[in-house]
Structure 1
Amino acid sequence: MTNITKTQAQARADQVRAFRAEQAVLSEQGLLQFSDDTASAIRQYHDKLLYELQQAQDVDLSEGARHLSLGMQIVSFLGAGALAASLFFLFYQYWGYFATATQVAILIAAPLVSLAVACWVQRFDSSGYYAKLAGLVSFASWILNIVMLGSIFNLTPSPNAFAVFAVYGFLLAYVLQVRLLLAAALICSFIFIGAQFGTWMGSYWIYVGQNPEQFFLPALFFFALPLWVSQARFHGFAAIYQMLSVVTFFVALLVLANWGGGSYLPWSPNLIEGCYQLTGFVASALLVFYGMRARAVNLMLTGNVFFALFLYTKFFDWWWDWLPKYLFFLGVGLTAILVLMVFNRLRKAQQYSLQRVQVSGGQS
């Protein structure tokens, strides 16, 4: 059991629970009857399996346990934030009493000590929550380290700091398997790449958000990264990569579709906005189809949301000023019904193809 991931262990435990629930229903209807010896053997096998999964990967064996796990994740996040804030204010409270060499030593030691604590706790913490909490504190210490060292030596602010944040965030995320740290590292990576690209184009890096086109290439790169490098050993990492990349890409598209002045293209703002509006429609529709084919529900829902946003902003541009408000919202409602009908047809087509595969598989 030690060579499987927590995702695989949780899926196996859910499979056992689903089998027991279906077995109980079939037994009540008289469709499935086991002898006492067979039923006892199956029950003992499942009990042993669930115990091993729980000991190895701390899986949730009931809905109540799953809800508690979600609560523990929230509490660990809040606890990490509180500890990081405590560390920050502790530094500032007594910072002036230390010599420069002592300040530097403390700043260097803080993230290293917290990283060592996180790795040590991970060896004994089967749930992983305490190790994740220590990892978040270590990441906050690392950020504080860079910021305070820059202040001590009066260094010019630079986007390279976000590259340093990202590297340490990726390291902690993969060592401790913390999705929140992966998300933080990705955000830092987007800021660094966008700021660096803006610097190459002649603007000051701090105005990274004024040219959203700078985020297109990093968003596409990080979206494709899980397709090139498998993330199967790390629970939820592939989804974090793709969801954050998709949101970044489409937010940039949405901004450019309504503000052509933020583009590097040497065209008129109206032409730029029209091109990006069309791109937004096509890209969001393609994301919906990709999510359906890859069975990635989150990506499909995200594509739906952004398709609706592009559609409704376009409706607002076209009709809001000259249509009566009741006709405007009537048009929006009818369009929603039309889109719902299209998605329903696609859903039925997908279910029909799945049934055909199951039937052909059963016949073979």
Structure 2
Amino acid sequence: MNTHLQSNKAQAQARAKQIQAFRAEQRMLAEQGLLNLPSETVSSINRYHDALLQQLHQQQDIDLTEQASHVSLGMQIVSCLGALALAASLFFLFYQYWGLFTTPLQVSILVLAPLLTLVLAVWFCRWDRSGYYAKLAALVSFMAWVLNIVMLGNIFNLSQSPNAFGLFALYGFLLAYLLHVRLLLAAAMLCSYIFISAKVSHWLGDYWLTAWEYPEYYLLVSLLFFLLPLKINQQRYDGFTTVYQQIAAVVFFIAVLILANWGAVSYLPWADVWIEGSYQVVGFSCSALLIWYGMRQRQAGLMLTANIFFVLFLCSKFVDWWWDWLPKYLFFLLLGLTAILALMVFNRLRSSQQKDVEHG
């Protein structure tokens, strides 16, 4: 039986869904008289599946029914909200009584808060198979770490620095990989964006807080994050590849969309019209490439992201070209016809992909 166990919860949950789909199809075929298996064979298959589902449930705490899946989603939302509420409580508790503590006591509290919550998260991880309590404690630990860095800077009157976001990112990555928390991975990525862009801005002679004014800082970082799960296997971490690539794609396309419409914020030594035209080409090309990649990898989220930004780039060009001189009814008619054309192209791609699956 152990040879059939999956390496992680996501694979175990997928196996459970396969079993449920097999049973539903088997019942339907039997009712239509298309599948008449001996009762001994049916009983043997059912016993095997029951035992496998029970073992997967015990080891990976998977959901065995659709209702259980809905409850699990609710538990994830509640654990996230609970972590935010506890972190806010910790924050306001510090500020309510902070002035009553001596400096050594303040430093001790700030250092111990993330460490104790980290120990608590690890203990929950071993005690609770569902992982919800561990993730809640991990989120609180991350908030305590952020509060730790900020408050220590205030206590010792340290100047503001982008290095704080580097520390936030390091601790976020540590917690994310230690406890398999996708939300913390996303938070660590966003802190990394701020840290890297601020450091590059500082190296180029600008004040680091102005880094957000230059979208080009985020392009290379997005490419690195997108390629990272292709070079470093993330199979052991459920959903991490999706988080890396989805966030990287969204940040990349937002930066390109800004540059495609406001060339003045670019570092390129060209006229604005050339900068905007170049980034429009980049936006169209990369969104089309991501659609192809998402179809090839069967990642619906990436395809949806690419489609949304492809349409945004297209609409922005239509506005530039025709909004001022075309009648409004004709402008929107043109948009509608373009949408129909896009549907036809996507339908051809979908049919081609289905034929590949049938012949593959």
Which range, TM-score by smaller chain?
Answer: over 0.9
Stretches of structure 2 that go unaligned for 5 or more consecutive residues are: none
**Which residue is 2:95 aligned to?**
92
Paired residue type of 2:338? T
**Which residue is 2:166 aligned to?**
163
Paired residue type of 1:125? D
Q: Distance in 1 between matches of 2:323 and 2:155?
A: 54
Give 1:36 deviation, angstroms: 2.0
Equivalent positions of 1:108-187 (< 5 A) are 108-187=111-190
Give 1:124 deviation, angstroms: 0.9
**Which residue is 2:269 aligned to?**
266
**TM-score normalized by the length of structure 2:** 0.98
Paired residue type of 2:84? G
Identity %: 62
**Which residue is 2:11 aligned to?**
8
Where in structure 1 do 4 or more consecutive aligned residues deviate above 6 Å? none
**Which residue is 1:292 aligned to?**
295
**Which residue is 2:316 aligned to?**
313
2:236 is equivalent to residue 203 of structure 1:
no
**Which residue is 1:218 aligned to?**
221
Give 1:45 deviation, angstroms: 1.1
**Which residue is 1:361 aligned to?**
none
**Which residue is 2:333 aligned to?**
330
SS in structure 2 of the partner of residue 338 of structure 1 = helix
SS in structure 2 of the partner of residue 265 of structure 1 = coil
Paired residue type of 1:279? V
Give 1:215 deviation, angstroms: 0.6
Q: Distance in 1 between matches of 2:234 and 2:330?
A: 49
Q: Distance in 2 between matches of 1:27 and 1:124?
A: 43
> Out of 245, 249, 265, which is 1:246 matched to?
249
Q: Distance in 2 between matches of 1:106 and 1:159?
A: 24
Paired residue type of 1:237? F
SS in structure 1 of the partner of residue 154 of structure 2 = helix
SS in structure 2 of the partner of residue 212 of structure 1 = coil
Give 1:3 deviation, angstroms: 6.4
Say whether the 8 Å CA contact 2:6–2:12 is kept in structure 1: no
Give 1:18 deviation, angstroms: 0.7
Give 1:172 deviation, angstroms: 0.3
Say whether the 8 Å CA contact 2:229–2:244 is kept in structure 1: yes
**Which residue is 2:234 aligned to?**
231
Q: Distance in 1 between matches of 2:39 and 2:285?
A: 59
Paired residue type of 1:12? R
Q: 1:280-324 CA distances to partner (integer Å, 9 max, x unpaired)?
A: 011100111111111111111111111000000111111111111
2:30 is equivalent to residue 27 of structure 1:
yes
Stretches of structure 1 that go unaligned for 5 or more consecutive residues are: 358-364
Paired residue type of 1:171? L
Paired residue type of 1:33? N
Taking only aligned residues, the RMSD between alpha carbons, in angstroms, comes to 1.0
2:203 is equivalent to residue 189 of structure 1:
no
Q: Distance in 1 between matches of 2:356 and 2:13?
A: 29
Q: Distance in 1 between matches of 2:320 and 2:76?
A: 42
Q: Distance in 1 between matches of 2:108 and 2:34?
A: 71
SS in structure 2 of the partner of residue 231 of structure 1 = coil
Q: Distance in 2 between matches of 1:294 and 1:40?
A: 37
Paired residue type of 1:256? L
Say whether the 8 Å CA contact 2:138–2:175 is kept in structure 1: yes
**Which residue is 1:360 aligned to?**
none
